Structure 1
Amino acid sequence: MTLRLWRNVGCFGLLNVALLLFIVLLVATGGPVLLGSCVFALFAVGVFRMARLLRFTLRIRVKDAADVVPDLVTSGERYCLILRPFGSAGHIIVPSGRGRRTLTLSGMTVTSTMEQVVSRSWSDVYAAQAYAVVDPGLALAPGSVVYMRAEHTAWKEPVERLIATAHSIVLILPPHQRIRTSTWWEVRKILELERLERLTVVLPPYDVEGSGHAQAKDELCKLLAVIEDPLCLVHLPDGADPVISAERVDHYANDILPPTTLGVHFFRNESTVFEPRDDGPVVFQYGAGIARRSRILRRKSKVSEYTYRRLLLEAYRSDAQERS
């Protein structure tokens, strides 16, 4: 919450607060009242707009997974499933919209969590809900997503059911973390249930110092190397992590993914021959005889919610085409 508040206010917002205090002091000591009134009015408008824009993003929606999952998976409802490790909710923060600071916001900018970016993009396409399973200790959660509590010993069964019926699956790689054993279990289930073509993976923004993008990109390369050789997951004992080819990780990191990678989405291609290619991170085949390839989102300008929406909207619409 503190990090998000700082991203909202930023240096320009603090500068405006300091300017406001200076003007108030100037007026109080006999300075021009009109100038002080104009600056105060502009600042008040900015605060009002900020509060209005954030009003619908701070609702708490945390339910018990046992009360939601059974009805959800049997209802036939089209929904998006958000996956990320327990304790990582709201850890990726990006500017909303195109991320611009304006005078009408008093130099401040509105931000969104990655979960909100994923959910709002999904809602814009299908007017439906996005769901995420969280640890039972979560007390506060950003709005736009339906959060479901699950105990640390009882989360696998509902998550597997959600993976099996989700229309789209978004895996968020949180900053400054390695892929946990629990996430490898989720990837394994995605492969076993042949849901890979529904999967989108997103990373933190690359243009924010300390965002953890570089490490998340390395973890994405490990994920691609494992998906390229899914047998290392199929026979993986519970509680163990896969043995990953360092050579393939380096290949994706140095030869395939650009430094500005923000995510990948997997597309299905009805082919029955395994054929590695150089024009995408992964083209592979296993089990069901389905070849898949990834597309990369690249962007050099300031990263914001608008930047991620391009990848997410394309992914959601591709999922709809796969289902049709």
Structure 2
Amino acid sequence: MSAVRWRLLRFVREVGLLLAVLLIVPLLSYVLLDPQAGFQALIASGAGISGVAVLPALALSLGSGVRWWLRYKRPRETLDCAGAIDSILASDTSYCLLLRTFGGDGQVLLPTHPRIGLWSPALTLEQVTARALSHHGIRTYTLVDAAVRHSPPGPVYLRSPDEGWQDHIAALAGKAAHIVLLLAPGREMRPSLAWEIELIRRRGLQHRVTIVFPPCGRKGRYDLSHVTARSNAERILEMLELSSVDVPAVAELMHRALAVRILKHEDHQRRMVHMLKVSSTVLTRRGIIGTKVYDGALALSLTAPAPATGRD
């Protein structure tokens, strides 16, 4: 389900609940106050009470609609990568390159305030990731198809044709301070992502990579689509050929992972080796994984020493 359809469904559910409360509660109150009233009297009184409640219900529904319209962040025009990439590479400002599983754009939506249910606005995982990086003064760039002219706010979307995307990714990856691999739920790795992983390995950029997972579940229930993401993450770690990292052992730590950060440090023999920083969560019977949970996981990941920018 797309982000727009999901938000529309939430709005319809919110207004429907509001109407139900305003139209049904007065009727139930009348029954409780006068349980001996006959059926005809109940219908007549209920119609009168509901008629009085219609105008406030419509006014509140209209107000709710206006609130949703004002709160919804409008799509922005994407940038032509060929025209923007030179200025991005020439700037001294740190940036992040966001790589995604093909076909999973905007699929993961996270509530900002899970406890208030329907009235909680939601952000896509792309938006949450870009926001977490922006707190550190880092702008996030990602590529989209050349036909995509508008995109939701969050990362800066650079449109690129099929014949030029590999050159653009290679140029952006070389100078990126961070490279985030965003895994969509239930999506297998595509050849395009495999090519990007090989590019990272070949250039020795593993220590700039953070793998971000979809939510592992909600209200104590483990989501099986997270298994696919874990499988992809294990495959990615193997393809990156990380020194001194036991991938099968790390796999046990990724059962409820939200993010995995790859680091590089010097061991006691003065050799440069890799290590992993896994950020996980705990599923509870009432808990829903929202934006704040990911904010904490991504902040923990980003507190690791950032590599120096520059071409490798």
What range is the shorter-chain TM-score in? 0.7 to 0.9
RMSD (Å), alpha carbons? 3.4
| Higher mean C-alpha displacement, 301-310 vs 133-142 | 133-142
Please give the residue correspondences for 1:261-272 in structure 2 after superposition, counting only pairs within 5 Å.
261-271=257-267
- For residue 257 of structure 1, the aligned residue among 254, 257, 282 is 254
Q: Report the counterpart of residue 188 of structure 1 in structure 2.
A: 198
Q: Distance in 2 between matches of 1:23 and 1:222?
A: 54
Displacement after TM superposition at 1:147 (Å)? 0.6
Q: Distance in 2 between matches of 1:34 and 1:319?
A: 63
- For residue 82 of structure 1, the aligned residue among 98, 110, 115 is 98
**Are the structure 2 counterparts of residues 291 and 249 from structure 1 closer, same or farther at C-alpha, using a change threshold of 3 Å?**
closer
Displacement after TM superposition at 1:23 (Å)? 6.0
Secondary structure of the 2:98 match is: strand
- For residue 146 of structure 1, the aligned residue among 144, 156, 159 is 156
Q: Report the counterpart of residue 115 of structure 2 in structure 1.
A: 100
- For residue 119 of structure 1, the aligned residue among 120, 130, 141 is 130
TM-score by length of 1: 0.74
- For residue 226 of structure 2, the aligned residue among 210, 213, 237 is 213
Q: Distance in 2 between matches of 1:67 and 1:272?
A: 46
Secondary structure of the 1:296 match is: strand
Displacement after TM superposition at 1:224 (Å)? 2.3
- For residue 312 of structure 1, the aligned residue among 273, 298, 309 is 298
**Are the structure 2 counterparts of residues 249 and 13 from structure 1 closer, same or farther at C-alpha, using a change threshold of 3 Å?**
farther
Q: Report the counterpart of residue 244 of structure 1 in structure 2.
A: none
Number of residue pairs the alignment of both structures matches: 283
Secondary structure of the 1:68 match is: helix
Instruction: Choose 1 or 2 for highest CA Rg.
Output: 2
Q: Report the counterpart of residue 227 of structure 1 in structure 2.
A: 240
Q: Distance in 1 between matches of 2:87 and 2:170?
A: 15
Q: Report the counterpart of residue 200 of structure 1 in structure 2.
A: 210
Q: Distance in 2 between matches of 1:9 and 1:125?
A: 34
Q: Does 1:290 align with 2:251?
A: no
| Higher mean C-alpha displacement, 81-90 vs 45-54 | 45-54
8 Å Cα contact 1:7-1:109 kept in structure 2:
no
Amino acid aligned to 1:60: R
In structure 1, the gaps of 5 or more residues are 231-247, 275-284
Displacement after TM superposition at 1:167 (Å)? 1.6
| Higher mean C-alpha displacement, 182-191 vs 206-215 | 206-215
8 Å Cα contact 1:62-1:147 kept in structure 2:
yes
8 Å Cα contact 1:20-1:40 kept in structure 2:
no
Displacement after TM superposition at 1:33 (Å)? 6.0
Q: Distance in 2 between matches of 1:25 and 1:67?
A: 61
Amino acid aligned to 1:50: W
Q: Report the counterpart of residue 6 of structure 2 in structure 1.
A: 6
| Higher mean C-alpha displacement, 213-222 vs 186-195 | 186-195
Displacement after TM superposition at 1:306 (Å)? 1.1
8 Å Cα contact 1:134-1:147 kept in structure 2:
yes
Secondary structure of the 2:216 match is: coil
1:183-237 per-position Cα deviation (integer Å, ceiling 9, x unaligned) = 122122222333222211111112258783221122112222333468xxxxxxx
1:263-304 per-position Cα deviation (integer Å, ceiling 9, x unaligned) = 211122222769xxxxxxxxxx8xxx3333232322323211
Between the two proteins, what is the percent identity of the paired residues?
Answer: 24
Q: Distance in 2 between matches of 1:123 and 1:175?
A: 24
Secondary structure of the 1:120 match is: helix
Displacement after TM superposition at 1:47 (Å)? 3.5
**Are the structure 2 counterparts of residues 252 and 115 from structure 1 closer, same or farther at C-alpha, using a change threshold of 3 Å?**
same
Q: Report the counterpart of residue 176 of structure 2 in structure 1.
A: 166
8 Å Cα contact 1:225-1:249 kept in structure 2:
yes
Q: Report the counterpart of residue 89 of structure 2 in structure 1.
A: 73
